[in-house]
Chains A and B, each alone.
Chain A
């Protein structure tokens, strides 16, 4: 395990960042055709807005499945790094998937959680993450020992670099604010899938 020593002990100590800003910082560090699975909602919209990549898969439903879809991609292409980008409300629906990833010890998978403590897209209702549930602590309890809150933007970049360089699985928790997303994902599932499969070299 190569976690930086200075990560916050809990959610309350992590800086509240801007989702679109850190999504762009993450995408800017992808230089090896890494796959990114965008969970639904504003997380997905900002991934779309951060620049379309053929290695991005944009979910449009199946809430909570960014991590399982990412695990499937990682199992199929073990030499490619895969990032599952998911919201707090979404991962709370599918906590068992964290234990599955831990049990598989999937080296090429990193999970990034955008945690605003709310179901922002449906009107900002409080999520359990704003009522005491610490997703990084839950992930550690599920067996994902390489789990950390990003203290701030530079710590986030450091954790992303680490997850791309060293064996995973990783989980990076990011506290984010209530900003609206920068764009909206185009809702065209067959096109999204086709481009993703070409981006992964499955179709030519």
Chain B
């Protein structure tokens, strides 16, 4: 579970790893679980960060930025990832662009919206059939290693990568009856 201690929360670790790897362009479609990360990145002048209207657009922006020498990442939730199959298949993969993606996972472990549970089941099969590397982060002690190693690998192999933030790590979005 998340803690509020600076430097030891999943979002503080994520922000620090992005910074270390010079990933300074952060584009997002907002999500409640991602809020502390988005807030932290907005507060840090190292990053250029803004929201986009649609996830596809965000992937295009970070792909363009990569080709022009700047590293970026796209933040979104599960339902937003579901809009990306065509762009990953026709831009990131064939052009060999290491587009970094971070998904806040909804649809499982206490989901209250049936649409989220259905669309969530498409995420890993889409990533698998496009042979896109993905890692689900469930524990605080694995966040740094997964992000750090996978960013290095994505750049070295010119391949996209997707990081999935499990509710086991973040607490997820809780049903408010």
A and B interact = yes
Q: Which among A62, A73, A74 is the interface contact of B91 at CB below 8 angstroms?
A: A62
Q: Are A69 and B53 in contact (CB under 8 A)?
A: no
CB of A65 within 8 A of chain B? yes
Q: Are A96 and B87 in contact (CB under 8 A)?
A: no
In the bound complex, CA of A15 to CA of B97 (Å): 39
Interface of A is mostly: helix
Q: Which among A61, A76, A80 is the interface contact of B65 at CB below 8 angstroms?
A: A76
Q: Are B57 and A68 in contact (CB under 8 A)?
A: yes
Nearest CB in chain B to that of A95: its residue: B53
The minimal Cβ–Cβ distance linking A91 to chain B, given in whole angstroms, is 12
Q: Are B69 and A72 in contact (CB under 8 A)?
A: no
Tally of contact residues, A, Cβ under 8 A: 39
Give the chain B neighbours of A59 by CB distance below 8 A. Answer: 91
Q: Are B86 and A72 in contact (CB under 8 A)?
A: no
Q: Are B94 and A100 in contact (CB under 8 A)?
A: no
In the bound complex, CA of A77 to CA of B57 (Å): 19
Q: Are A75 and B25 in contact (CB under 8 A)?
A: yes
**B86-98 toward A: CB 8 Å interface, digit per residue (1/0)?**
1101110011110
Nearest CB in chain B to that of A59: its residue: B91
Given A72-B60, A104-B50, A65:B87 Cβ within 8 A: yes
Residues in A149-204 with C-beta less than 8 Å from chain B? 189-190, 192-193, 196-197, 200-202
Given A62-B86, A96-B54, A190-B96, A202:B64 Cβ within 8 A: no
What are some 17 contacts across the A-B interface (CB < 8 A)? A57-B64, A65-B59, A65-B91, A68-B58, A68-B59, A68-B64, A72-B61, A72-B68, A73-B64, A94-B54, A95-B53, A96-B57, A97-B57, A97-B60, A103-B50, A192-B95, A201-B69
Residues on A lying within 8 angstroms of B by beta carbon are 35, 37, 57, 59-65, 67-77, 80, 94-97, 99-100, 103-104, 189-190, 192-193, 196-197, 200-202
